[in-house]
């Protein structure tokens, strides 16, 4: 009972802080419409609605971003997740959410040391040959220290911030309650599906708090790249060893996990000695080839998406290092995307439809993604036809697939349609991938990199053995995708897949 009372007091105090920040940034009307003002006043916690004028001149996206920053780690993470929801927010909102930086002052080392001692079974100076007290980086949830093992291996030790979990759990409870209020009381906010967004965010953030999950993600991706030798690269672009007898170093590097010191609140991984992805001048000074790096990075992420269905969902320059031999290391697997076989098949159909200017194929995938929502199918089909037609006759190397996906999702947004969470994450990752490739090489052409991978995946998926393995439904998909069934029959198959097929039998002579 005492614990519940303490949680209630802490939760109310946190709600007061959240509501006060929202009012200060000009969102007092939302606070009032959701009934928070009166609810807090009844508990003796008054809100001052007069504080809103200070930031009223700022655009709404800027005010929201600054409010999220002020509300703390949970809300910064929420803003970063919202930055992936290109299906819900206009570009100016996505750009503003993208400015949210997950950085924070370092936690006092005494607190970090105490927690490490609890988790590792001994103080860090007894376990490691050396341990830097000053962190390499500090974020809202964790900070990273450099250390050295007794065998001389350089490692990084990622430590969860002491005491952060109760704070986040309190925030998540209030976020869910606020999302329920927003959905029931505010028609303006209802179209953003706040309950579903918060539900997905809560699942994602709780996984991110468990560093063992992050390390399992890293090992799974490392296994998927085992034996990835770059044989598909053009001549002169494959990693070469100094002698014929030595194996070539891996093109894609994933840090090794040291499981004996890894758990929920701490993980120890190999230290990557390389050029950070943002330091392009250092890339040039090291004599690395930007064009090769752009191609290799794109092919690696496309392999994760199309072939493996398990991908790094945040491939920005901060999570990439460039290594000698034009090799690439990926770090930080707290946010990953998962695609079922069905989703990958839909992605292949969509991308090939865009590149080959087949509007009907693109439209079919959009319907699959929107589920059972009632919509104006004729209007959506026409808009997609117009959208695809504008690229007709354009050479492959001039297609900007990231921009095309953004524009396509904007059409869904105008129809108030919401992407599945896994596809929203994929679209954002794809856009980030193309942007990073262009930073390396202004002539980077992701369509040319993607097409061979998509076509190869298509052939593999519809080989006779693969069709037999997946059963009769797969044969129907193959006929629709490759042979091209009449439109009515294609609609019939789609209705059956979506569970909306109704059959009426009328036997005349029984009447």
Q: Point out the residues that are catalytic.
A: 314
Is residue 98 within 8 Å of 83, Cβ to Cβ? Answer: yes
Instruction: Count, in order, helices (H) and strands (E) of the chain.
Output: 23, 11
Pairing of strands 154-160, 336-338: unpaired
Q: Tell me the C-alpha distance between 292 and 461, whole Å.
A: 29
Is residue 155 within 8 Å of 140, Cβ to Cβ? Answer: no
By C-alpha distance, which of 215, 217, 229, 241 is closest to 155?
A: 215
Look up tokens 């979506």; give the residue.
498
The C-alpha angle 109, 277, 409, rounded to 5 degrees, equals 105
DSSP symbol at 53: G
Structure tokens at 190: 């209802």
Q: Which residues contact 398 (CB under 8 A, 6 or more apart)?
A: none
**Phi, psi (5° rounding) for residue 142?**
-150, 165
Is residue 308 within 8 Å of 223, Cβ to Cβ? Answer: no
Which whole-number Å values give the CA distances from 280 to 275, 277, 325, 438, 440, in the listed order?
8, 7, 16, 12, 7
Is residue 126 within 8 Å of 94, Cβ to Cβ? Answer: no
Is residue 25 within 8 Å of 64, Cβ to Cβ? Answer: yes
Structure tokens at 339: 């695609």
β partners of residue 312: 336
Is residue 86 within 8 Å of 404, Cβ to Cβ? Answer: no
β partners of residue 310: 338
Is residue 105 within 8 Å of 73, Cβ to Cβ? Answer: no
Q: Tell me the C-alpha distance between 225 and 39, whole Å.
A: 54
Structure tokens at 137: 């980086």
Q: Tell me the C-alpha distance between 268 and 259, whole Å.
A: 7
DSSP symbol at 118: H
By C-alpha distance, which of 423, 390, 421 is closest to 407?
A: 390
Residue 337 in 3-state DSSP? strand
Q: Is the dihedral of CA 241, 246, 249, 251 positive or negative?
A: positive
DSSP symbol at 52: G
Residue 208 in 3-state DSSP? helix
């Amino acid at each position: 009972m005492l614990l519940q009372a303490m949680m209630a007091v802490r939760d109310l105090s946190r709600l007061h802080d959240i509501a006060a920040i929202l009012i200060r940034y000009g969102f007092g009307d939302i606070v009032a419409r959701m009934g928070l003002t009166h609810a807090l006043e009844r508990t003796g916690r008054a809100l001052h609605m007069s504080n809103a004028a200070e930031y009223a001149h700022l655009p709404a996206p800027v005010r929201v971003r600054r409010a999220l920053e002020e509300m703390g780690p949970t809300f910064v993470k929420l803003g970063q997740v919202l930055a992936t929801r290109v299906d819900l927010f206009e570009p100016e909102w996505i750009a503003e959410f993208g400015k949210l930086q997950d950085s924070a002052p370092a936690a006092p080392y005494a607190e970090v040391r105490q927690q490490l001692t609890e988790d590792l079974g001994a103080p860090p100076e007894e376990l490691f040959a050396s341990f830097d007290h000053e962190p390499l980086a500090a974020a809202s949830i964790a900070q990273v220290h450099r250390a050295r093992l007794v065998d001389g291996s350089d490692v990084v030790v990622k430590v969860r911030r002491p005491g952060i979990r109760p704070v986040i759990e309190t925030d998540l409870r209030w976020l869910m309650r606020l999302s329920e209020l927003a959905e029931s009381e505010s028609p303006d906010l209802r179209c953003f599906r706040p309950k579903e967004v918060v539900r997905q965010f809560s699942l994602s953030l709780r996984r991110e708090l468990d560093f063992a999950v992050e390390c399992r993600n890293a090992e799974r991706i490392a296994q998927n790249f085992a034996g990835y030798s770059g044989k598909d690269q053009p001549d002169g672009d494959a990693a070469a060893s100094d002698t014929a007898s030595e194996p070539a170093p891996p093109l894609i590097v994933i840090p090794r996990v040291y499981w004996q010191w890894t758990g929920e609140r701490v993980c120890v991984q190999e230290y990557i000695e390389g050029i950070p992805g943002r330091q392009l001048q250092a890339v040039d000074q090291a004599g690395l080839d930007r064009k090769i790096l752009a191609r290799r990075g794109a092919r690696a992420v496309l392999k994760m998406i199309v072939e493996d269905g398990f991908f790094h969902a945040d491939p920005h320059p901060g999570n990439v290092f460039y290594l000698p031999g034009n090799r690439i290391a990926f770090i930080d697997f707290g946010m990953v995307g998962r695609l079922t076989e069905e989703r990958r098949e839909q992605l292949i159909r969509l991308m090939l439809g865009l590149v080959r200017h087949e509007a009907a194929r693109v439209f079919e995938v959009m319907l699959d993604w929107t589920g059972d929502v009632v919509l104006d199918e004729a209007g959506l089909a026409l808009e997609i036809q117009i959208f695809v037609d504008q690229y007709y006759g354009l050479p492959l190397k001039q297609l900007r697939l990231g921009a095309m996906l953004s524009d396509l999702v904007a059409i869904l947004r105008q129809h108030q349609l919401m992407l599945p969470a896994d596809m929203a994450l994929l679209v954002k990752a794809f856009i980030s991938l193309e942007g990073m490739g262009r930073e390396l090489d202004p002539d980077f052409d992701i369509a040319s990199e993607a097409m061979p991978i998509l076509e190869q995946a298509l052939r593999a998926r519809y080989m006779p053995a693969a069709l037999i393995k997946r059963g009769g439904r797969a044969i129907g998909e193959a006929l629709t995708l490759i042979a091209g069934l009449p439109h009515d029959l294609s609609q019939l198959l789609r209705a059956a897949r979506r569970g909306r097929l109704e059959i009426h039998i009328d036997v005349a002579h029984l009447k």
